[in-house]
Chains A and B, each alone.
Chain A
Amino acid sequence: MTMREQRRYFRAFVATALLTFAVPAAMMTQAACAKAPPNLTPVGVAAWNKLQVVHDLDLARDIAIAAEANGVIKTADARAVVTYHRSALRTVQAGEAGWKAAVSTGLDELSRDLSPEASQKLAPYIALLRAVLAGISS
């Protein structure tokens, strides 16, 4: 095995380890800590909640992109995640009533569209996104 191949395997190993353990833990902590500042009005709290959802969606998207770059998931799976992410952000941006349900429904569709391997690897992120969406009021 050449040095270059060894390096590639090592990067794939580190990416898989991060994907499986470290990042979901960080994401869970972030979701748990991201309470809206008490001085905000309901309008500000709604914007704050959307911002938290955007951050968590970004994290899942960034993981999918990094995993694809390191050969951990296929390009088609990363494309499905990025396409869902873009659609979810546009839904949040439109700010219409029911945006949360629309983002959740899209997440269900994404889960069905992913290959079994990618679905297994990205399952913690999808579960955490569901938890974050379920935990916010608007």
Chain B
Amino acid sequence: MNPLLQFAIAEVPELIAWFKQRHAEAHPGQEPLTDDQVKAMLAQALVSSLAVDDNWLAVHGG
């Protein structure tokens, strides 16, 4: 294998770790979302959006 390519492949994990660290520094407090958090976000979005529909239809004769 080309030594340059071998070196690049060997460095990939370190590069990824460096990018992750920089991203974490730039966005402090942003943990990856969990399943439960996404499910809660979905439930909340459904409830609030349905309320908009109901209100609009109540005013506009739905």
Contacts and interface: CB of A to CB of B under 8 A. Distances in A.
A130 interface: no
B33 A86 contact: no
Contacts of A86: 50, 53-54, 57
Q: How large is the interface on B (under 10, 10 to 19, 20 to 34, 35 or more residues)?
A: 20 to 34
Interface in B19-62: 32-35, 38-39, 41-42, 45-46, 49-50, 52-54, 56-57, 60-62
B17 to A, nearest CB: 16
Given A39-B32, A40-B33, A44-B38, A89 B46 contact: yes
Contacts of B56: 65, 82
Given A37-B33, A61-B52, A93-B46, A51 B57 contact: no
Interface string A27-66: 0000000000101110110011011001101100100010
A120 interface: no
Given A44-B38, A90-B50, A78 B45 contact: no
B35 to A, nearest CB: 3
Interface in A54-113: 54-55, 57-58, 61, 65, 68, 75, 78-79, 82-83, 85-86, 89-90, 92-93
B62 A40 contact: no
Contacts of B50: 86, 89-90, 93
Given A58-B52, A79-B57, A89-B50, 7 more contacts: A39-B33, A40-B33, A44-B33, A48-B38, A54-B42, A54-B46, A61-B52
Interface of A: 37, 39-41, 43-44, 47-48, 50-51, 54-55, 57-58, 61, 65, 68, 75, 78-79, 82-83, 85-86, 89-90, 92-93
